[in-house]
Structure 1
Amino acid sequence: MKHIFLSLPLCLCLNIVFAQTTKTTVDSLEKRYQQCLSEGKSSYNCALQYYAAMDSLLDAVYRQLYGKLDNNRRELLQVSQAQWVQKKDAYFRDIDLRVEKKRPLTLSGLDDDMIVTDNKAAYLRTRVIELLASTRS
């Protein structure tokens, strides 16, 4: 019984450390992305790298959160994530369609693709932040 009381604060501390570390990771990715853009190189490549990093972080945060939950909360997380994936897919399709419709009106190049990729990465970033917030509850 004594071990249970000692391990409870440790679990809470680990959750807080995990959330803070991952928030720091989000901030670090954002900073690296902004630095890449400010260098004036390929904005599209910067956006692709940021998207890939945010996608990997989202997967890692989801897996870590999933591993810490009991079965009931895991089911809720799975349902929530499945609903989010459906919304994400619809959002990504919509944004791709809008860009394709406007593409003949804009200059050719990677600017449209960069903006789309940036918006998609921001969508993933929002989900990472939501999942991190749920680790505190």
Structure 2
Amino acid sequence: MRNLILFLLVFLCTKAYSQTKQSALDTLETHYQQCLGNSQNMYNCAVIYYKQLDSLLNNTLQHLYSNLTGGRQQQLQMEQGAWEEKKEEYFKKIDERVEKMHKRTMEGLDDDMISTDNKAAFLKARLVRLLDI
């Protein structure tokens, strides 16, 4: 009975944490869209959004690692390692594409903004997946 109560407590805390992180993610998205709506310094908007998502992703991972049991924690570490490899490949392709575009366009910041936005979307997809755990 004690174990059941402990399990329920951990489950409820994890759910509450997940909802808080989802709310934080929604707030970041809203602020990003508002920043882009101003049509000024859009590259800076994308960089700030990317950094905030990266921070939220790292905090979420730390929380999950500290609250999951051994077997599930190990599975998450393996999943995260595979995701990190995909991320590196994806970011490398994006950077290569932007480098090629810089030679053809006058406004390099537009290309950089789009690149940063795509990278942020990749992080956001991972974060959403982690919030479902």
- What is the number of equivalent residue pairs in this alignment? 133
Q: Residues of 2 paired with 1:91 and 1:131: CA distance?
A: 19
Aligned-pair CA distance for 1:65: 0.6
Match of 2:49 in 1: 50
Identity %: 43
* Aligned residue number for residue 119 of structure 2: 120
Q: Which residue number in structure 2 is paired with residue 37 of structure 1?
A: 36
Quote the Cα distance in structure 1 between the aligned partners of 2:126 and 2:109: 26
Structure 1 residue 5, shift from structure 2 partner: 3.1
Question: TM-score by structure 2 length?
Answer: 0.94
Kindly report which structure 2 residues correspond to 1:1-40, keeping only aligned pairs within 5 A, or say none. 2-40=1-39
Q: Distance in 1 between matches of 2:75 and 2:5?
A: 28
Question: Higher RCO, 1 or 2 (CA under 8 Å, sep at least 6)?
Answer: 1
Deviation at 1:3, TM superposition (A): 3.3
The list of structure 1 runs, each at least 4 consecutive aligned residues, that deviate by more than 4 angstroms after superposition, is none
Segments of structure 2 that go 5 or more residues without pairing to the other structure are: none
**Distance (whole Å) between structure 1 residues aligned to residue 4 and residue 107 of structure 2:** 63
Range with bigger deviation, 47-56 or 65-74: 65-74
Shift in Å at residue 11 of structure 1?
A: 1.8
Q: Per-residue deviation at 1:12? A: 1.8
Deviations 1:21-60 (A, max 9, x none): 1111111000010111112220000000000000000000
Give the stretch that moved more between structures: 59-68 or 97-106.
97-106
Q: Are the equivalent residues in 1 in contact too, given 2:101–2:111 (CA < 8 A)?
A: no
